[in-house]
Structures are given as C-alpha cells and as structure tokens.
Structure 1
C-alpha cells in the first residue's frame, strides 16, 4: 500500500517508511499537546466557576481576576486555577495568590 502526503505546494508526494514514521511521531506529539490543552482548559473553567461563586462576580470578571492573579504573582494560569480549586475544597491558597485574588475580586465586584 502506498501513502502520499498532500499539500498545496506538492500534491501527492509519495512517502517513504521513514517519512511515515516521522509524520506519525509528529502527529502523536501534536495529539498529546492537544490532550494537555483540553485538560488545562477544563481546570481553568472549573476555577472560573469557583471564583464566580466565591467572589459573587460575573464570569468575565472572574476570568480577569484569575488572569490578574497569574500575572501579578508570576504564576502560570493553570497553576493558579489548580490552587483556586483546591482552596474551594478547603485547602490553603498560597498567600501571594490569596492577597491578589482578594484584591482582584474587590476590583471587579464594583
């Protein structure tokens, strides 16, 4: 069975076994990156819901609050989101994040 690569510049280029293996590895890496992105997005979405409930603010403001906390504490957004979810379940929020989240909620609640 022959396999071909299709592109705008070189339609129907015959692929060797090595080309197929390389393309397969590239696609597997891309698929793993997409899996991580979807998982990260879910964590951030859940944290947004927690901030909406805890801060009694609109979802748009909750997004801004999370983003502000991330930027002002130099912490990745996903990490802040994980901390907020843990906080919503009774864990401690790191002090810098706790202070920034309190300030952000106050800013956006107005």
Structure 2
C-alpha cells in the first residue's frame, strides 16, 4: 500500500510539473511571438545554460507572469534565448 501511495504522489507531481512547463512555454510564446516548438526550445536552452531543472525554470517564469518579479540572471538568459529564436526584422 505504501508503494502505491508513493507512486501516486510521484505521478501527481509529474502532472503538476508538466502543467507548469506548458504554462511557461505559453509565457515564452507570447513574449517572443514564437511557435510552441520554439518556446519549448527556449525553455530547454535556459534550463541547460543555467544548469537548473526545467520545472524550476518553468515555475519562475510562470511566477514572473503573475508577479512581475524575475531573477535578473534568469531574465538575462531569457532575453538572450528569445533574441536567438526570433526571426530578424525585415528592413524597410
């Protein structure tokens, strides 16, 4: 019975983490005017470059969308990744 409780708790956490990641991708999509695939790529790159778990980066971005407060290092990395993903502006 204890094993089932542990497994249930792990599955519940996985679902919650997945929802937060999806929400963070939405934040990135809106900010950068990107596709969902590009939003996922930005989120993954931030996680790797900052050596921070993806779900933690995602939670910070979702919290930022709600509170307006974001760690300066994360904000800088987000901006750099968005700049890499955005298509160049047409001249004229």
Could you say which residue in structure 2 is the equivalent of 1:80? 57
State the 1:25 CA deviation: 1.3
Show the counterpart of 1:103: 80
Give 2:40's aligned residue: 63
Structure 1 residue 109 displacement after superposition: 1.3
* Residue matched to 2:29: 52
Which one is further off, 83-92 or 47-56? 83-92
Q: Which runs of 5+ in 2 are unaligned?
A: 88-92
Relative contact order (alpha carbons < 8 A, sep ≥ 6): 1 or 2 greater? 2
Q: Name whichever structure is richer in helix by fraction.
A: 2
CA displacement, residues 16-65 of structure 1 (integer Å, 9 cap, x when unaligned): xxxxxxxx111111111000000000001011111101111111011010
Q: Distance in 2 between matches of 1:90 and 1:32?
A: 28
Q: How many residues align?
A: 87
The answer as to 2:42 corresponding to 1:41 is no
- 1:93 is displaced (CA, Å) by 1.4
Residue 91 of structure 1, CA deviation? 2.4
